[in-house]
Structure 1
């Protein structure tokens, strides 16, 4: 036997391993440079005072109950949420995108609606030239393009929405099982649309929804129009249906009975320096909401925001809601005034104070600001102080 073979030199062996691994490492580095995943969120908490709120049971008033209410509430001017969003560059101006977003109750730690991702859960493709198409749980086109013309879409959120967010212009619900298209902005114009599958065998339209909207911006001026239809709204979306301790005195019965909820909305805004003026309108129809007859509402809102300093701003608005029950010819009406002041302590943290007052008129017997049970009278006042932090 010859002499034993010498072991390879340790340094030479290490160099070979490094050289062999370099192509893989370069590949991974390139993939990382073309992809990104971002964790983000908002935490909003505040203390509310409401002058008159009744109690409810099984979706009905508890007679003789109620009074003033002091509570801690999460997610009012901005819904408390956390999420992850990501993109992967596929080349040629095409990217894969996704978003998973969950609302939560910062006061208790509870999940929004008891769902893992109560706000958004979608995946899709985005083209710089042709726009993007996504599949999953997401906002409808009117939320994206028309809500920004409302005060609740800029400041104030939930409590500033039209009575019980009947037109979903405060994104009270996303749509499930949806295919959605968003165009690129071309010469100031953007269009969107979605279709949500009902998913019932032999009943293609049951629980389905669809929307379309367009918005145009030219310098300081912007305007948009949109339409949303939700079939069988009581079962197809998580709207403001009466049940348990909650009572929707504005349109709860109509929502439970409606064959569909149709919403035509439009808005416009004009920015002049630190001042932004807005107007929006919505026409809401609960088809067959009262027997074989419709319950119909129209909302008119005028509002504005003003930056007194770069860190201190105010917002104010007035909404008039005019309703008509075609079964009884009754006409419920609501007047609501909203006000908010907000101070930015830093780029991510703000403190604020806000208030809403609503007066019910016509055949409406109970005022009801969104987020609360009705008043036992035709008037309701809500005030709030809070803090918002984004990450």
Structure 2
């Protein structure tokens, strides 16, 4: 159960607080289940070895498991100070995700009627502008969120503005160094992607913006994202994305559709990948407790290369169908079953471009992959 605490917490993250003006909230999600996947390689480097896999989820089903703390302080005159600290974990083992503590979010900022400005590790403007147009709300299993938004959808060293004006949201950000360590598998970034390098101020910087209109029945959004990764100090590449999305809902139905253009170039101008990504989906609330979702994802890959000097290829276009049933036991706990079928690639388009973040590499010579996961999620 979400708890708002007034005063000093057991975690000792704040000092003595003025209960009339300061709030602190502990929140989180625990989501895990059992998954079956066929034709999955043992690892990206051994694609000739593999087969079916049955086991516990390591990354979550509907949501990534995480916990966090957020707080606000009333500064008077309608102004607030705010902060968020959030980290992920693996519920099947209890392990904290690799990297520094609070790898998901670590930000502090100020908020007024004109919007809020936050600094720290945060999500990109593109994610903020598109999240409401994802048929499965960027479900870890099985929606190609990293393929859609890029491996840099969370960035460090960021300054970000968010304005909410009725149904209209405007977001803009700039990162002095994203902290993303790799451009793609096999392409490590200078200084671990941290940026802020003397004499090479453009290395691993990023910026973007989005506009979204959303009301109870209709929504539309557009977003732009640019990342300047440097494999070699002082030599930046360019990764650009433009995405549009929309949804419409009436009664128990809701429809989703969208498009994303992407071009990623190495510093010498050679193309890492150029693709067009499309999605279409819908949800239907069959009963007050049972919701059904169906989604289709398609990636038209124009060209791709493994490194800055490798020849370009034109791989087969990837497709995926996902069917999901979600049954709510309460407002905070639900059970789900998700089935995914991928053609010409891995589930969630897991690939070298996404750094194999879900660990679903396709076996050599296999064109199709099927996955089934059933699990439980609790929100607190």
1:42 aligns with 2:29: yes
Partner residue, 2:149: 168
Quote the Cα distance in structure 2 between the aligned partners of 1:110 and 1:357: 29
| SS of 1:89 mapped into structure 2 | strand
Structure 1: 5+ residue stretches without partners: 1-27, 237-256, 361-365
- Give the structure 1 partner of residue 11 of structure 2: none
Check conservation: 2:204, 2:236, Cα contact below 8 A. no
Return the alpha-carbon distance in structure 2 between the equivalents of residues 270 and 135 of structure 1: 33
Deviation at 1:335, TM superposition (A): 1.2
Equivalents in 1 of 2:260, 2:328: separation in Å? 32
Tell me the equivalent position of 1:87: 72
Following TM superposition, the consecutive aligned residue runs of length 4 or more in structure 1 with deviations greater than 6 angstroms are 233-236
Structure 2 contact 203–230 (Cα < 8 Å) conserved? no
Instruction: Indicate the residue corresponding to 2:88 in structure 1.
Output: 103
CA deviation profile, 1:153-188 (whole Å, cap 9, x unmatched): 26x3342115xx22327x8741100000001224x2
Q: 1:53 aligns with which of 30, 36, 40?
A: 40
**What's the secondary structure of 1:309's corresponding residue?**
coil
Contact 1:367–1:375 (CA under 8 A) maintained in structure 2 = no
Once the two structures are superposed, what CA deviation does each residue of 1:100-157 show, in whole Å capped at 9, x if it has no partner?
A: 0000001111112232101000000010x21000000000111112122012326x33
Aligned residue number for residue 33 of structure 1: 20
Does structure 2 conserve the Cα–Cα contact (< 8 Å) formed by 1:98 and 1:123? yes
Q: Counterpart in 1 of 2:244?
A: 266
Deviations 1:225-247 (A, max 9, x none): 001111117799xxxxxxxxxxx
Seen in structure 2, the aligned counterparts of structure 1 residues 328 and 197 have a Cα distance that, compared at 3 Å, is: closer
Which residue is equivalent to 2:224? 227
Aligned match of 2:124:
140
- Give 1:258 deviation, angstroms: 8.2
Q: In the TM superposition, what is the alpha-carbon distance from 1:30 to its structure 2 partner?
A: 9.3
CA contact (8 A) 2:61 2:373 kept: no
Deviations 1:257-301 (A, max 9, x none): 981221111100001111110001111111139972352011110
Superposition map of 1:1-20 within 5 A: none
Q: Match for residue 69 of structure 1? A: 53
1:266-345 aligned within 5 A: 266-288=244-266, 292-293=270-271, 295-325=273-303, 328=312, 330-345=314-329
- Number of matched pairs: 330
TM-score by length of 2: 0.81
| Change in 2 beyond 3 A, CA 1:62/1:295 | closer
Question: What is aligned with 1:113?
Answer: 98
Judged with a 3 Å threshold, the aligned counterparts in structure 2 of structure 1 residues 304 and 235 are, in CA distance, closer, same or farther, namely farther
1:182 corresponds, among 147, 153, 162, to 162
Task: Please provide the CA RMSD for this pair.
Answer: 2.5
What residue number does 2:198 align with?
201
Higher share in helix: 1
- Kindly indicate whether residue 210 of structure 2 is the aligned counterpart of residue 213 of structure 1: yes
Q: Which has the larger radius of gyration?
A: 1
User: Counterparts of 1:368 and 1:350 in 2: how far apart (Å)?
Assistant: 23
